[in-house]
Amino acid sequence: MSKEQRERRLFKRARDRRIAQHCLLAVVCFGGGWWLWEMSWEVKYVAMVLGLVGVGFGVAAFWKWVSDVGEDEALRRWVDGPGVCGKCGYDVRACEDGRCSECGWVWPKGEVRLMREDVWDWRMGWRIDYLECEGKWLRVMLGVWLLLTVVMGVCGGLLLGRPFDLVGFATLFVLLATVTPWMNTGLNVVRIWQYMRRSEAGERELGGSCREREM
């Protein structure tokens, strides 16, 4: 097997692995929601949330399966493996025009700055060094945090004043499983907000220095 075929197989294997992970999460969430729905009407709200999350993972898996490699993923592949096309995995070291002869993808010139894949893991570092589309990520993280807050509130309300039976155990399990992502999402909201403040301060300083040079 040639190196070009190995690179293409590695790219396809990584893409298939991500699709399989989304499918597994969809089955787990949807199956857990279905199980809670059949147990008791008191946990139907939690079951509905889990079902919607499972549907979301399923839609994401289907979208990854039918869609082509995005520009961000192609750039990341190019940075991780220079000399290999980020779109199709073709060896482009012999191409001198800056374009892949197989799929036509144009690779970037010079340094490429990309958002780290572990940027949301606050344990890797409290300060976010670089973030793309920070306004969009702030809205997404805030929305997820509010949704998790609602789920925790519903679970806490269901646990009050009821015996600790099988339904109570399932509700407690959902509540405990939601605590960690709720805390992590809330911390990331604060980190994004601090990053946006630093970016605005840097833009103001840059604008002030440019005006001083003009004067």
> What six digits make up the tokens of 60?
């994401």
Structure tokens at 179: 């605590």
**Model confidence at 209: pLDDT above 60:** no
Average pLDDT estimate for 152-163: 79
Q: Where are the domains of the chain?
A: 121-215
Does an H or E element contain 209, and which?
helix 166-214
Mean pLDDT of 174-180: 83
Other Cβ atoms closer than 10 A to 185: 20
Q: Which residue has the tokens 């060896």?
A: 91
* pTM check: above 0.75: no
Which position has the higher pLDDT, 159 or 78?
159
Query: What does residue 50 show for φ and ψ, rounded to 5 degrees?
Result: -60, -40
pLDDT digits (tens, 9 = 90+) for 12-38: 565 667 778 778 888 888 787 777 777
**pLDDT tens sequence across 106-144:** 777 766 666 666 666 666 567 777 777 788 889 989 998
Sequence-separated contacts (24+) of 181-189 with Cβ below 8 Å: 181/144, 181/148, 182/145, 182/148, 182/149, 182/152, 184/120, 184/122, 185/141, 185/144, 185/145, 185/148, 186/145, 187/122, 188/120, 188/122, 188/141, 189/138, 189/141, 189/142, 189/145
Under the banding of pLDDT at 50, 70 and 90, the label for residue 207 is: low
- Tokens representing 145? 């945090």
pLDDT tens digits along 36-78: 777 666 667 777 777 888 888 888 888 877 766 666 677 777 7
Strand, coil or helix: 91: strand
Is residue 147 pLDDT above 80, yes or no? yes
Is pLDDT of 98 > 80? Answer: no
Rounded Cα gap, residues 15 and 67, in angstroms: 11
